[in-house]
Structure 1
């Protein structure tokens, strides 16, 4: 046996084996959870290899369009095919709001009904649903965050109570955490650096509208790296993933042993 082959043989024998997954987490939601624009990948990275964490969130999707595009059926298929206990985190609201053709849902009727249907179908497939209230947008008036997703958070809480589903109140937790940062410090959580005009306005305590960039809002395809108050870059992803991680293991202590050392 050549020295090179012997080296690689010894390397294989001493390399630690990858841990076999014992549990499965699946993320379902919009761009605030999706890869490149949300916190989902950072949340998955919080857990050891003993958790198979899959980020199925997609930018621009609502409770209606996620199903209409067949994405929900794919999630159910994963749950049914797996021998692992499956926890599915479901977070919508941003694209269920008015003004998004083909995606908007009625807050009083469609939105809660869609969430309830997700919960029922997931349980029938053998999975455990976890409802998540929507992440806040980082917009401020007089140094106080404007929570324009509060009504969708309320609706999600009501569905969780009605269906006896585990709830992670990210909306409330992210509102508190973002308020503590304030309008200026929270700018660093965005995907791109804030324009000078945005920074100047934030210093007064009231944010202004983010500059419009063609194709840069609510991405349906490949995300564009632009400044806005909704999506997050690496710092923002880690910031909100820590909040989610702590809420998740508190609500589901069975997951705590699988946290990576911080």
Structure 2
């Protein structure tokens, strides 16, 4: 009885053993590629043509980090949203595949009075808009970073005119209230442009094509 049983077992298992030897072994799944993404949101001082965004993305961000510049000229914290640009930014923030998505947000230039369709009230609308951006970035899974507005190159009696100071201060206050990281570009650029002086600073002006 034992020999026939062993023979039957051998005949049954031999094809299975052969299959096990010849079947390809599935390769282990590769580890996910961990890469961060940076999304730039703002006005012309950040935008592709004439802003600091291209240099930032092209020279100061490594190839392991995606950098997307969605800033647009002539935009304020109000009309950037109302025209639909913010909806595009939210799409980028929500898209998967990245370990972290940082969103740098800079407005102020076009929020100032005298710009129909763009201006926002400094005491109410502007800080509320900036806070809403922060809240929505976080709700979409991103990490907001507020940026104070880049200074203008306007001098009077050899001193730089700080006409954007109140808007920069409003951004600082929102950052403090919401616990949001802050890049004080206004203070940094004020110091740099003042040190240059009016003649040297004018070399930074965008030359028409």
Shift of 1:103: 0.6
Q: Is the 1:21–1:51 contact (alpha carbons within 8 Å) kept by the matching residues of 2? A: no
Q: For the Cα contact (< 8 Å) 1:21–1:49, is it kept in 2?
A: no
Q: Deviations over 1:139-186 (max 9, x none)?
A: 111111001100000000000000000000000000000000001111
Q: Distance in 2 between matches of 1:149 and 1:31?
A: 15
* Partner in structure 1 of residue 55 of structure 2: 42
How many residues align structurally?
Answer: 175
2:46: which partner in 1?
33
Bigger CA radius of gyration: 2
Mapping of residues 153-232 of structure 1, within 5 Å: 153-192=168-207, 225=208
Match of 1:24 in 2: 37
SS at match of 1:61: coil
Q: Quote how far apart the aligned CAs of 1:82 are.
A: 2.4
- Give, in angstroms, the shift of residue 37 of structure 1: 1.6
Following superposition, the deviation at residue 32 of structure 1 comes to: 0.3
Aligned partner of residue 203 in structure 2, secondary structure: helix
- Candidates 70, 93, 104, aligned match of 2:119: 104
After superposition, the Cα gap between the structure-2 partners of 1:21 and 1:43, relative to the gap in structure 1 and judged at 3 Å, is farther
Distance 1:56 1:68 in 2: 15
TM-score after normalising by structure 1: 0.65
Please give the TM-score of this superposition, normalised by the length of structure 2.
0.82
- Aligned counterpart for 1:124 among listed residues 139, 143, 148: 139
| Structure 2 counterpart SS, 1:24 | strand
Distance 1:47 1:75, change over 3 A: same
Unaligned residue ranges in structure 1 (runs of 5+): 1-19, 193-224, 227-262
